């Protein structure tokens, strides 16, 4: 896509397509999860909209981690993630972050970073879905 032509019009912001891991229940793993990041709102924080989330009643036990790397072959949790935020328990598919994320490529930017949806378990945190953040 970098050197070619595309008819797709940019929608602005960033997107992550997250693939379910083996820890997600089979009934939920049929579709990918999408996270859309936008700084368009007048508020000072970043808006995160999610799609493909079929576990609404358990959403309060989940959080999103934006890692410092972009390596999907690494399944280790880093002690110092770039950003982390919880998914609220309401049914709204939008989370408003209190901070404004850098939606570009830089030391603080999220483009090219690995992102994970996590949950807690008796054996520790589990990764339910994972992907890379790109431009939307």
> Quick one: CA dihedral 110, 114, 118, 122, positive or negative?
negative
- 39-86 pLDDT, tens per residue? 987 678 999 998 886 654 455 578 999 999 999 887 677 678 999 998
Residue 94, domain member (yes or no): yes
Residue 1: pLDDT band (50, 70, 90) is: very low
Residue 68, domain member (yes or no): yes
Could you tell me the CATH number of the domain that includes residue 23? 2.60.40
Look at phi and psi of residue 47 and say left if phi exceeds 0, alpha if psi is from -120 to 50, else beta.
beta
Residue 58 dihedral angles phi and psi, to the nearest 5°: -105, 10
Residue 36: pLDDT band (50, 70, 90) is: very high
Residue 125, domain member (yes or no): yes
Dig out the tokens for 116 from the structure: 């994970």
- 92-116 pLDDT, tens per residue? 788 899 999 999 999 999 999 999 9
Which residue has better confidence, 56 or 124?
A: 124
Residue 80, domain member (yes or no): yes
Within 10 angstroms of residue 135's Cβ, the number of other Cβ atoms is 15
Query: What pLDDT was estimated at residue 89?
Result: 58
91 in helix, strand or coil?
Answer: coil
Query: What pLDDT was estimated at residue 131?
Result: 95
Residue 42, domain member (yes or no): yes
5 in helix, strand or coil?
Answer: coil
Residue 4, domain member (yes or no): no
Dig out the tokens for 13 from the structure: 């912001």
Residue 3, domain member (yes or no): no
User: How many domains is the chain partitioned into structurally?
Assistant: 1
Identify whether the C-beta of residue 40 lies closer than 8 Å to the C-beta of residue 103.
no
Residue 2, domain member (yes or no): no
Q: Residue 97's domain spans which residues?
A: 14-135
């Amino acid at each position: 896509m970098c050197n070619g032509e595309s008819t797709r019009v940019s929608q602005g912001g960033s997107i992550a397509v997250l693939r379910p891991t083996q820890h997600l229940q089979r009934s939920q793993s049929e579709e990918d999860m999408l996270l859309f990041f936008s700084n368009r709102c007048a508020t000072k924080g970043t808006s995160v909209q999610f799609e493909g989330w079929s576990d609404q009643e358990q959403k309060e036990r989940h959080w999103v981690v934006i890692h410092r790397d972009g390596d999907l072959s690494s399944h280790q949790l880093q002690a110092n993630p770039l950003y982390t935020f919880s998914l609220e328990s309401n049914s709204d598919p939008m989370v408003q972050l209190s901070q404004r994320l850098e939606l570009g490529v830089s030391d603080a930017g999220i483009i090219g970073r690995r992102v994970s949806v996590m949950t807690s378990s008796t054996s520790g945190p589990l990764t339910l879905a994972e992907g890379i953040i790109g431009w939307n």
